[in-house]
Chain A
Amino acid sequence: MGGNMRRFAILAVVSSLVLAGCVTPYQPVPFDRTATPVTKIAVVDNTLPPEVGTQKMATNGENMMSAASSAGLAGLLVGAVAAGIEAGIEAGQRERIQKALATQNFNGEAIFDAALEEALKGQNYTVAPIAIPRTKARELVVIPANEAAEPGSAVLDTLGFNYGYQLVGNSTQWRPFVTLHVRMVDHKDPKKILLDNKITYNPVIKSDVTISIPVDEAFAFQKIDDLEADPAKAAEGLKAALQATAKATADLLR
Chain B
Amino acid sequence: MQKMRASLFVLSVSGLVSACSTTPPPPPPLAVSEITGKTCTDKPDLTKAIAMTPKRKAQWHSIATDVDAMSPCLNLEGKPSNYVLYTLPAAPSNHTLTIGGAYEVLRILGPLVSVLNADGQPIRTFTADRFANVGNTFGVQFRPSDDARFVLVQTNPQSAGVEVKAFETQLISQTNYSYNPYNYGSTAYTTQYGREGATVRKFSHEGVVSVTIQAVAGKIGLPNEK
Which residues of A does B touch, CB under 8 Å?
A: 1-2, 4-5, 7-8, 10-11, 13-15, 17, 25, 27-30, 32, 35, 57-59, 61-66, 78, 166-173, 175, 197, 202-217, 248, 251-252, 254
A11: which B residues are within 8 A, CB to CB? 170, 172
B-side interface residues, number (CB < 8 Å): 44
Q: Does B185 contact A (CB under 8 A)?
A: no
Measured in the bound complex, the distance between the Cα atoms of B171 and A57 in whole Å is 8
User: Which listed segment binds A: B4-12, B39-47, B138-146?
Assistant: B138-146
Whether, in the assembled complex, B177 has its beta carbon less than 8 Å from a beta carbon of chain A, the answer is no
Q: A17-B173, A58-B171, A172-B169 are in contact. Are A206 and B136 (CB under 8 A)?
A: yes
Bound CA–CA A199/B135 (angstroms): 10
Contact of A1 among B27, B167, B170 (CB under 8 A): B27
The residues of B with any CB-CB pair to A shorter than 8 Å are 24-25, 27-28, 59-60, 96, 98, 103, 105, 127, 129-130, 132-136, 141-143, 145, 166-175, 189-196, 198, 212, 214, 216
Q: How many angstroms from the CA of A14 to the CA of B192 in the assembled complex?
A: 10
In the complex, what residue of chain B is closest to A24 when comparing beta carbons? B59
Inter-chain contacts of A203 with B (CB < 8 A): 169
- Kindly state the separation between the CA atoms of A111 and B84 in the bound complex, as whole angstroms: 42
A and B contact pairs by CB, cutoff 8 A, 19 listed: A4-B28, A7-B172, A8-B105, A11-B172, A25-B60, A27-B214, A27-B216, A28-B98, A35-B145, A61-B191, A63-B191, A65-B171, A169-B171, A172-B169, A204-B169, A207-B135, A209-B96, A212-B133, A212-B134
Total inter-chain residue pairs, C-beta < 8 Å: 142
Majority secondary structure, B binding face:
strand
A10 CA to B176 CA, complexed, in Å: 13
Given the known inter-chain contacts A7-B195, A78-B171, A175-B169, please indicate yes or no for A213 contacting B135, CB distance below 8 A: no
Contacting residue for A7 out of B60, B141, B170, B216, CB 8 A: B170
On whether the beta carbons of A2 and B25 are closer than 8 Å, the reply is yes
Pairwise interchain contact A205-B171, C-beta atoms closer than 8 A: yes
Chain B, Cβ-Cβ closest to A205: B171
B96 touches A28 (CB 8 A): yes
Q: Which residues of B contact A210 (CB under 8 A)?
A: 134-135
Residues of A within 8 A of B133 (CB): 206, 211-214
CB B149 to nearest CB in A, in angstroms, measures 18
A254 pairs with B130, CB closer than 8 A: yes
Query: Contacting B194 at CB < 8 Å: which of A29, A169, A252, A254?
Result: A169
CA distance A211 to B169 in the complex (A): 15
Contact A32 B167 (CB under 8 A): no
Residues of B within 8 A of A207 (CB): 135
Q: Which of B28, B132, B192, B198 contacts A65 (CB 8 A)?
A: B192
Q: How far is the CB of B93 from chain A (nearest CB, A)?
A: 9
| Bound-state Cα–Cα, A204 to B196, Å | 9
Cβ of A215 and Cβ of B167 under 8 Å apart?
yes
Q: Whole-angstrom distance between the alpha carbons of A204 and B172 in the complex?
A: 8
Contact pick for B173, options A28, A65, A213, A215, CB 8 Å: A65
User: Which of B167, B194, B216 is A58 in contact with, Cβ under 8 Å?
Assistant: B194
The CA of A159 and the CA of B123, in the complex, are separated in Å by 34
A16 nearest CB across to chain B (Å): 11
Known: A4-B105, A25-B60. A10 touches B194 (CB 8 A): no
Contact B190 A66 (CB under 8 A): yes
Add 4 more A-B contacts to A58-B171, A209-B98, A211-B132 (CB < 8 A): A30-B96, A168-B196, A205-B171, A254-B130
